[in-house]
Amino acid sequence: MPLKVSIVGVAPAHRAPNPAESLVLRALELVSGSRVELVGTREADLVLLYPYRFPFGSGAAGALLESAVRRLRFPAKDRRADVVLRKAFGLASHTNLIAISHENLDRRPWQALGNFIVQTDIPRLTSWPTEVDPRGFRLPYWWNYVDWPEIPRTSNSFSTRVGPYYDLSSLLTNQLFNDDHSRRKNRAVWITNHLDFPRKEILQRMQKHFRVDVVNNVPWGKKLELLQQYKYCVTSENSPGYGYESEKVPEARIAGCIPIGYIANPFSDFNVQAYFFDPPVGEIEILPPLLHERPQISGLLDYLAKVID
């Protein structure tokens, strides 16, 4: 029998909730031994709550939720918090539920939801490490773009926003340029849709060193092609948060760029010597590996197996 799964919200790492493309859905198929069938919430055995867009991305909705949590004063593990969340989305009390946030739950407006779910027993995949949230499991955003050999995809035709899925070996080596870097533009590229604080200030600082091309609306799967034209790539995160790491630095390294403008968040996976804030002085031919050690996905599989048990 298939594992009936419903998705509430939007998974930002994917254009569509296709089981063949989604890391979480493929992992669920592996641990359940069944294919995933996407259904409505009332038919589902498991509901995936992706707090990405409205109402989660609404500052007003976040403020209302935060106010309600403070007034109700749910103690830790209080079942009332679980009930409130289920009623808000029309979910039955017996339906398994897991919250999955690729957004930074230390940043408004998603912070309100983060403060809420840690007061429940709802399983969750977030950027938070075990030290911060021992009842959740850390799933860094960039993991969604890795080609995990333990969870094979059924087709090689799929790609991420950058292009091909990441080969972990490329993040575990000191290889920087996969071609003659003298052919690249001796300036930086920054793929971003906004220059909110502190991005504008970071841009102005980078521009003291050389030209920075700010690019947005890159077609799906074409980011790698664009990055490989440049020697440097500005990789600043949107916001600080515990363990919050997006795809920016891994994509720069895979493209053979020197990552600049980056400030590591607490509990970072990344080797601090593998990127820079200000551009390095002199020519850089190699950089240390981005990852200290190969990440293990077995913990995610074990965690999901317990959720659907």
What are the tens digits of pLDDT across the range 99-109? 999 889 998 87
Task: Provide, rounded to the nearest whole percent, the portion of the chain with pLDDT above 90.
Answer: 58
Distance CA 287, CA 275 (A): 8
Query: What is the band of 58 on the pLDDT scale with cuts at 50, 70, 90?
Result: low
Measuring CA to CA, which residue among 173, 169, 174 is closest to residue 287? 174
Query: What is the band of 282 on the pLDDT scale with cuts at 50, 70, 90?
Result: confident
Say if residue 157 is exposed, middle or buried (CB neighbours under 10 Å; 0-12, 13-18, 19+).
exposed
pTM: 0.90
Q: What is the mean pLDDT of residues 200-223?
A: 94
**How is residue 58 written in tokens?**
């609404």
pLDDT at 284: 85
What are the tens digits of pLDDT across the range 119-172? 777 899 999 999 999 999 999 999 999 999 999 877 666 678 888 899 999 999
Q: Looking at 13-17, 128-132, 234-238, 294-298, which range is the least confident one?
A: 13-17
Q: In 3-state terms, what secondary structure has residue 100?
A: strand
Residues 6+ apart with CB under 8 A from 38: 5, 6, 7, 17, 19
Q: Is the Cβ–Cβ distance between 202 and 234 less than 8 Å?
A: yes
- Phi and psi (nearest 5°) for 205? -70, -45
pLDDT at 283: 82
What are the tens digits of pLDDT across the range 239-270? 899 999 999 999 999 999 999 999 999 999 99
Query: What is the band of 82 on the pLDDT scale with cuts at 50, 70, 90?
Result: confident
Q: What is the mean pLDDT of residues 171-177?
A: 83
Q: What is the mean pLDDT of residues 71-81?
A: 59
Instruction: Say whether the peptide bond before residue 149 is cis (omega within 30 degrees of 0).
Output: no
Q: What is the mean pLDDT of residues 169-198?
A: 86
Task: Show the domains of the chain with their CATH numbers.
Answer: 3-158+296-308 (3.40.50), 173-274 (3.40.50.11660)
Q: Looking at 48-62, 66-80, 236-250, which range is the least confident one?
A: 66-80
Instruction: Say whether the peptide bond before residue 17 is cis (omega within 30 degrees of 0).
Output: no
Q: Does the pLDDT at position 13 exceed 60?
A: no
Tell me the HSE value of 218 on the side-chain side, using a 13 A CA sphere. Answer: 20
- Phi and psi (nearest 5°) for 48? -100, 120
CB atoms within 10 A of CB 42: 10
- Phi and psi (nearest 5°) for 36? -90, 130
pLDDT at 223: 93
Q: What is the mean pLDDT of residues 277-306?
A: 93
Q: Does the pLDDT at position 57 exceed 80?
A: no
